[in-house]
Structure 1
Amino acid sequence: MNMVLIGSGNVAHHLGVGWQAGGHRIVQVYSRNADHAKRLADVLHCDATDSLAAISPNADLYLLAITDQTLPELVQQLPISWKGIVVHCSGATTLGILDRWKNYGVIYPPQSLSKDVPTDLSCIPFAIEGNTQAVTDYLIQQMSAIAPLSFEANTTQRLALHLGAVFANNFSNAMYQIAFDILAAQQLSPDLIRPIILETARKVQQHIPADVQTGPARRNDVLTMKKHLDYLKQEPDWQTIYQIISQFIKKSEI
């Protein structure tokens, strides 16, 4: 396929590199920031533009790899005359936002991607949805060459997948930062809890999280929890988080 990447961020970078390695041709990269567009275009050896009017009208696929917040506005600015498939890669945005075009879909990876971190797309499940079954099947076929774990998922399933990823990744990462800050206040290195972070991640690869839950809330160790809450008095937000999560763990054991 001949492809145009609209956006020059992490997802555009990894999919562009992956598609190109899989034999597809990236013909152009668009970004509002000309330098960003050129930077990715140089990697992919293709044209770059910061003008919507200059986007190639003859691509087989247009990937809208931009933020959820800017997607609705940009969609309304793009020509409806495109014959190729138009796809976005948002987990929380509906498929129907692209209904200005005849063929459209979604390619969503529940994965945190960074340009500077090598990523094996073959290990990432991509949720695929098309406006027709033919488009869905075609997108899965094309994606499977570089990401064999790609699968069909409707808009509601994709939203659930996105929400699950937020809990598993974004929220847990915020908890790691709180833990690091608690240690830093006592001049303790974050390296001291990196092993338990890895161990927890390892366990959930083979077990249901509830089956391997540990800690004072799991044991209903009221005395220890009170000491923790007293320690957190100077950080009311952390204290509230501690209380809510501990209560959830206790209720889950009933």
Structure 2
Amino acid sequence: MITVTILGAGNVATHLYKAFTKANNVTVSQWYNRSLKPLNHYKNEVDITDDLNHLKEADVYILAVSDDAVAELSEKLPFENKIVVHTSGSVNVHDLDKKHNRGVFYPLQSFSKTAQLDFANVPICIETVNKPDYHILKALALAIGSPVKKVNSDQRQVLHLAAVFVNNFTNQLYRIGHEITESEGAEFDLLKPLILETAKKIQDLSPYKAQTGPAKRNDKKTLKKHLSILNNQDHKAIYNLLTKSIQKTHNGR
């Protein structure tokens, strides 16, 4: 049995808590947050606290907090030589206070607190300073059904950067698409099968081979017409930037 203490009450912390409570060989011994209000909903399920000095003994302490809070929180923990990990994609493992057995337990996925999530679709990227700790974190990830990948800080940081492009930036493009359809009363929902098919294609094809559209074809009339339809100057700039990027990739332009 692996005992875990979660520190933080955001999206990642909440999803990890729910996953751990369903796992057969994991126990959440305590849940900490500097404010108890977000945790009150769970107070009948798990011991909650807002006092670091009242933290219970655990095998692993997971800091699921904002990137800027990781170093300071790890320094404030009133113990040493315990496995303390953060869940960030961009924070170096050495930003954790060296009094701890430092590690990273990074779930590579987009988290929304109210959305259902199957951890079988959430790769856990693990890094440890001490080699023996890797096996404990791997067992913890496998207990919730996640695929496990051993990565170093540099690899994790570029994965996180790439994730911003394929997730956060893509979602913003969805938002722009939604604004464009709304401008003429068209239904954005009609685009959802296309969104799913685009995501499905890259399961079998590289993004390079999956690329289609007027920019790749260098269809000048269509490109010009699209720009004439766009009234928002930011949308025009994004359209031009991405068009040039696609053309440079596929046509050397």
TM-score (norm 2): 0.92
Aligned counterpart for 2:156 among listed residues 155, 158, 163:
158
- Asked if structure 2 preserves the Cα contact closer than 8 Å seen for 1:126 and 1:149, the reply is yes
- Matched with 1:237 is 234
Cα deviation digits, residues 121-173 of structure 1 (max 9, x gap)? 12221100001221123211332222341110000111111111111111111
Whole-angstrom distance in 1 between the partners of 2:87 and 2:72: 16
- Matched with 2:54 is 54
Q: Alignment partner of 1:214: what SS?
A: coil
- Matched with 2:185 is 187
- Matched with 2:31 is 29
Q: For residue 82 of structure 1, report the CA deviation from its aligned partner.
A: 3.4
- Matched with 1:248 is 245
For 1:123-142, what aligned pairs fall within 5 Å after superposition? 123-142=121-140
- Asked if structure 2 preserves the Cα contact closer than 8 Å seen for 1:2 and 1:25, the reply is yes
- Matched with 1:121 is 119
Q: How many residues were matched structurally? A: 249
In structure 2, give the amino acid aligned to 1:178: I
1:40/1:204 Cα in 2 relative to 1: closer, same or farther (>3 Å)?
farther
Q: For residue 37 of structure 1, report the CA deviation from its aligned partner.
A: 2.1
- Asked if structure 1 preserves the Cα contact closer than 8 Å seen for 2:182 and 2:188, the reply is yes
For structure 2, the residue ranges without an aligned partner over 5 or more in a row are none
For structure 1, the residue ranges without an aligned partner over 5 or more in a row are none
Q: For residue 60 of structure 1, report the CA deviation from its aligned partner.
A: 1.3
1:137/1:2 Cα in 2 relative to 1: closer, same or farther (>3 Å)?
closer
Q: State, as a whole percentage, how many aligned pairs show the same letter.
A: 38
Whether 1:5 aligns to 2:6 is: yes
Whole-angstrom distance in 1 between the partners of 2:216 and 2:240: 13
Cα-Cα RMSD: 1.6
- Matched with 1:73 is 72
Q: Which has the larger displacement, 30-39 or 160-169? A: 30-39
